[in-house]
Amino acid sequence: MFDNLSERLERSFKILKGEGRITEINIAETVKDIRKALLEADVNYKTAKQFTDEVKAKALGQNVMTAVRPGQLMVKITHDELANLMGGEAAEINLKGQPAVILMSGLQGSGKTTFSAKLANYLQTKKNKRVMLVACDVYRPAAIEQLRVLGEQINAKVYTGEGEANPVIKAENAIKEAKVYGYDVVIVDTAGRLAVDEQMMQEIAAIKQAINPQETLFVVDAMTGQDAVNTAKEFNDRLDFDGVILTKLDGDARGGAALSIRSVVQKPIKFIGTGEKMDALDVFHPSRMADRILGMGDVVSLVERAQEQYDEEEARRISKRIAKNQFDFNDFLSQLAQIKKMGSMKDLIGMIPGMDKAMKGVEVSDDAFKPIEAIISSMTPQERSNPQLLNGSRKNRIAKGSGTSIVEVNRFLKQFEQTSKMMKKMQQMQGLRRR
């Protein structure tokens, strides 16, 4: 995420490295390079110029403390300005209303249908809401079926309005039904459309007028960069939407859309999509995103995800087993499952400060745990509970059964042993601290 921009900004800050103090000359040089980095990232020119002017003004107005190097100060100023540029604070979604109605809009292929299901899943699991999805894309043959399948995956009601070809009437009927059956939120998925298609733009304007939604959200593919910003402006002029959703942000190496969109349309980015899974959706936090752009990771989001998946009862059980030296492969598998629930490995690594740089060029797949899972699955219940039983012949059988090699099996067993020792040591240290 934003790899190219992060690298270029890091190079920009190196101009000030070794400088004893901030001067107008070295600031001007650094700022010029930051502007270049932003333009290369496909940031709107006006936005990039305004941003660097702000950075320059703040940098020149600072009295540099002897404890803070000019380079460090510049990173801090850039971080704060990046966060301001993207909106400053996270924007809440408006769920007032009985039911709260959310209208989705955007171009073809931007990911509206998938995001509608992701949002429904988020509201059901994180906000404890009863959600109805409404299939109002009457043009794309597979759209209704796609939403129905996604709805089944997340256990959400999908209103298809069979036989009704008018999306305005279909949306109105869906809301009536939602009121009858006590749904908290109605998410209306609409057809993708171009801003230049007058008939289609009139149609979504008519839908909005008819259902009077609490939220009108514009879904845009982050990888389209500056085009995304231009499209957002055109849609906003016609629809006056309430917020932006950036999809496919995990594939965006530049970051132009995320950095420009707020300043151009004056509407907040509310959510980001970072993968294909139904839980691959995050509330957009400008400050945390600025952290990631500047290579500082996003520890807060990482901790939040860990807390969401934290099973207190399971943690106590594991803790007792570690204390008694009973930690086995079943427990290891249980811990893996907890980690996998937190999201894609690539995304998690990006949240750890410095890891993005350390892992540069290393492809981290979500399938990284599969060989380990296969090895453990190829063990007998007795072997899983008693790691010490694994002799040469058993290892050979496990390697064949898991489709791995004896080298991989031995490597995993060594990792397991080291993990067990480390967990035991950490537990002992925690015990000492409590005394």
pLDDT higher at 299 or 371? 371
Give, in degrees to the nearest 5, the angle at Cα 22 between 18 and 23: 115
* Residues 218 and 259 grouped into a single domain: yes
Domain end (from 294, 322, 349) = 294
The CATH number covering residue 43 comes to 1.20.120.140
Number of neighbouring beta carbons within 10 Å of residue 91: 20
Asked if pLDDT for residue 47 goes beyond 70, the answer is yes
User: Total structural domains in the chain?
Assistant: 3
Asked if pLDDT for residue 397 goes beyond 90, the answer is yes
In a domain, 235, yes or no: yes
The CATH number covering residue 319 comes to 1.10.260.30
* Residues 328 and 271 grouped into a single domain: no
The candidate with the shortest Cα–Cα distance to 74, out of 122, 10, 121, is 10
Domain end (from 85, 112, 140) = 85
* Mean local confidence (pLDDT), 271-277: 81
- Tens-place pLDDT, residues 288-308: 777 777 765 555 555 555 556
pLDDT band, very low/low/confident/very high, at 67 (cuts 50, 70, 90): very low
Pairing of strands 269-273, 243-247: parallel
Query: What is the residue type of 381?
Result: P
Which domain range does residue 232 map to? 100-294
Asked if pLDDT for residue 96 goes beyond 80, the answer is yes
Asked whether 37 and 9 are in contact (CB, 8 A), the reply is: yes
* Residues 53 and 128 grouped into a single domain: no
pLDDT band, very low/low/confident/very high, at 346 (cuts 50, 70, 90): low
Asked whether 158 and 133 are in contact (CB, 8 A), the reply is: yes
Asked whether 77 and 30 are in contact (CB, 8 A), the reply is: no
pLDDT band, very low/low/confident/very high, at 433 (cuts 50, 70, 90): very low
* Per-residue pLDDT at 65: 46
In a domain, 90, yes or no: no
Greatest mean pLDDT range, 54-68, 360-374, 383-397: 383-397
Min mean pLDDT across 38-47, 151-160, 248-257, 316-325 is at: 248-257
In a domain, 161, yes or no: yes
* Residues 307 and 411 grouped into a single domain: yes
* Mean local confidence (pLDDT), 320-328: 78
* Per-residue pLDDT at 357: 53
Which residues partner with 53 through β-bridges? none
Phi, psi of 93 (to 5 degrees): -85, 135
- Tens-place pLDDT, residues 193-229: 776 778 888 888 899 889 889 989 988 887 776 777 7
- Tens-place pLDDT, residues 404-417: 999 999 988 888 88
* Residues 362 and 398 grouped into a single domain: yes
pTM above 0.85, yes or no: no
* Residues 104 and 200 grouped into a single domain: yes
What percent of the chain has a predicted confidence (pLDDT) above 90? 15
Omega before 141 cis (within 30°)?
Answer: no
* Residues 263 and 360 grouped into a single domain: no
In a domain, 277, yes or no: yes
* Residues 162 and 255 grouped into a single domain: yes
* Per-residue pLDDT at 432: 47
pLDDT band, very low/low/confident/very high, at 380 (cuts 50, 70, 90): very high
Taking the C-alpha atoms of residue 218 and residue 107, their distance in angstroms, rounded to an integer, is: 9
Q: Is the dihedral of CA 76, 78, 81, 86 positive or negative?
A: negative
Residue 158 CA: distances (Å) to CA of 6, 146, 178, 284, 434: 41, 11, 11, 26, 52
In a domain, 94, yes or no: no
Residue 214 C-beta-side C-alpha neighbours within 13 Å = 16
pLDDT higher at 235 or 253? 235
In a domain, 200, yes or no: yes
* Per-residue pLDDT at 149: 92
* Mean local confidence (pLDDT), 2-30: 68
Asked if pLDDT for residue 243 goes beyond 60, the answer is yes
The CATH number covering residue 129 comes to 3.40.50.300
Asked if pLDDT for residue 403 goes beyond 70, the answer is yes
Residue 309 neighbours by CB under 8 Å, 6+ apart: 338, 341, 342
* Residues 71 and 218 grouped into a single domain: no
* Mean local confidence (pLDDT), 162-190: 89
* Residues 318 and 274 grouped into a single domain: no
Run of H or E including 237? helix 226-239
* Residues 164 and 193 grouped into a single domain: yes
In a domain, 95, yes or no: no
* Residues 170 and 308 grouped into a single domain: no
Asked if pLDDT for residue 122 goes beyond 60, the answer is yes
| DSSP secondary structure string for all residues of 392-421 | HHHHHHHHHHHT--HHHHHHHHHHHHHHHH
pLDDT higher at 306 or 14? 14
Query: What is the residue type of 326?
Result: Q
* Per-residue pLDDT at 394: 92
pLDDT band, very low/low/confident/very high, at 176 (cuts 50, 70, 90): very high
Domain end (from 275, 294, 313) = 294
